[in-house]
Structure 1
C-alpha cells in the first residue's frame, strides 16, 4: 500500500470518528457538517472531497460499525461450538462495543433516529446474526420445542439494542449487568433442558475480550465492508 493510500485511509477514519462523535451527541437533523469538519481539523470543503453529503457520511459510519460487528461476531463464534453460548457472548461483545467504540454507538443511534430516513444497516446485521445462530441452535436440538424463531429473534434484537440505546455508552458495567439479566431471565424459556445448564448468561470473559479486541483493532482493509461479511457468512 502506497503512502498516498495510507494517508487517505487515515483521513477517512478520522472523518468517520469525528462524525460518529457528533452523531453520538446530536440527533441526525441537528448534526452539522461544519461541526464534523471542525472536529476533524479540516475545512468543510476538504470533508466534501471524501463525502458528498451528511447522509453519505452517516451511511459510512453505519457501514464501518457494521463491519466491526461482523468481525466481532465471527471471532466470538470461532470460540464456541454451542450456538446459544455464542449468541450470549456476541451480545456481550455488542454491549462492549457500544461502551468503548463511538462509531458503533453512533451507528445504533443513527439507525434509531427518527429524523433520519437511511436504512437500518447496523440493526439488520445484528438481526441476521441472531437469526442464523438460533437457526443453528434449532438444527442442533438446542432450543425448546415451543420456540418461534421469528418472534424470538425480534425479541432478542429489541432487548439487546434497546439496552444500548437507553444506557449511556460510558456506563459499561450497567450494560453488562442488563445484558446478563436479560439472558438470565430469557434462557430458561429458550434453551433445551440439557443445554441450559451449560450456558453462561454473563458471557465468557476471555471470548468477549478476544472478540472486542479483534473487532476493533484488526488491520483496516479498504474492502472491509465486503470482506468481513463474506468471511462471516457462516455465522450471519
Structure 2
C-alpha cells in the first residue's frame, strides 16, 4: 500500500469514527454532514470524496459495526465448549464493545432504528446464535426442563444490546458488573442444577478480553454473517 493510499484509508476511518460519534449523539435524522465533517476537522468536500451522502455514510458505519460485533461474538462462541458459559461470555464481550466502541454502538443503533426497509441484521443474527446455543445446551441436558427458549432469547437480546448502549462511555468494570448482576439473577432460572455451580456469571475474563481486543483485527466473513441472518429469519 502506497503512502497516498494509506493516507486515504486513515482519512476514511477518521470520517467513519466522526460520523459514528455524531450519529450516536444526534441520531440519524438530526445528524448533518456539515457537523460530521467539522467534527473530523475536514471539509464537506473531502467527506463527499469518500461517501456519496449521509445514507452511504450511515450504511458504512452499520457494516463496520456488524463486522466488529460479529468477529467478537465468534471467539467465545467457538472457543467455549459449554454453551451456557459461551452465552454469558458473548454477552460480556458485546457489552464491553457497545459501552466503549462508538462505531459498534452507533452502528447497532442505526441498524435497529434507521428508517429503511429490511430486517436489522445483527440483532437477528444474534437471535439465531442464541437459539443455537440454547439448542445445544438442551441437547446436553444443561437447561432446566421447563425452559421455553423464545421468551429467554428476547430477554437476553434486550439485555445484552440495551445494557451495553445505556452504559456507554462507562468503564469496562462498570459494564462487567452490570452484566454479572444480570447473569447472577438469570442463570439460576436457566441452567440445570447440576451445571449451575460451574458457570461463571462474570464471564471467562481472559476469553472476553481477547475477543474484545481481537475483534478489530480478525478477518470478517460476510457470508458467515449472511448465513446467521438467514437462520434468524427462519426462527422469527
Which residue number corresponds to residue 115 of structure 2? 117
Which residue number corresponds to residue 192 of structure 1? 192
Post-superposition offset of 1:22: 0.9
CA RMSD of aligned residues (A): 2.6
Once the two structures are superposed, the pairs formed by residues 157-172 of structure 1 within 5 Å of their partners are 157-172=157-172
Once the two structures are superposed, the pairs formed by residues 91-102 of structure 1 within 5 Å of their partners are 91-102=91-102
Once the two structures are superposed, the pairs formed by residues 28-43 of structure 1 within 5 Å of their partners are 28-43=28-43
**Change in CA separation of 1:56 and 1:138 when aligned onto 2, cut-off 3 Å:** farther
Which residue number corresponds to residue 222 of structure 2? 226
**Change in CA separation of 1:169 and 1:10 when aligned onto 2, cut-off 3 Å:** same
**Change in CA separation of 1:183 and 1:169 when aligned onto 2, cut-off 3 Å:** same
Q: Where do 5+ consecutive residues of structure 1 fail to align?
A: none
Q: Where do 5+ consecutive residues of structure 2 fail to align?
A: none
Post-superposition offset of 1:191: 1.1
Once the two structures are superposed, the pairs formed by residues 1-236 of structure 1 within 5 Å of their partners are 1=1, 3=3, 5-113=5-113, 116-118=114-116, 119-216=119-216, 218=217, 224=220, 226=222, 229=225
**Change in CA separation of 1:13 and 1:129 when aligned onto 2, cut-off 3 Å:** farther
Query: Contact 1:63–1:122 (CA<8 Å) still a contact in 2?
Result: no
**Change in CA separation of 1:5 and 1:227 when aligned onto 2, cut-off 3 Å:** farther
Deviations 1:167-207 (A, max 9, x none): 23324333222211111111111112222121000101111
Structure 1 CA distance for aligned equivalents of residues 57 and 46 of structure 2: 13
Post-superposition offset of 1:132: 2.3
Query: Contact 1:108–1:165 (CA<8 Å) still a contact in 2?
Result: no
**Change in CA separation of 1:230 and 1:117 when aligned onto 2, cut-off 3 Å:** closer
Query: Contact 1:71–1:232 (CA<8 Å) still a contact in 2?
Result: no
Structure 1 CA distance for aligned equivalents of residues 23 and 4 of structure 2: 28
Task: Describe the SS at the equivalent of 2:215.
Answer: helix
Task: Describe the SS at the equivalent of 1:87.
Answer: helix
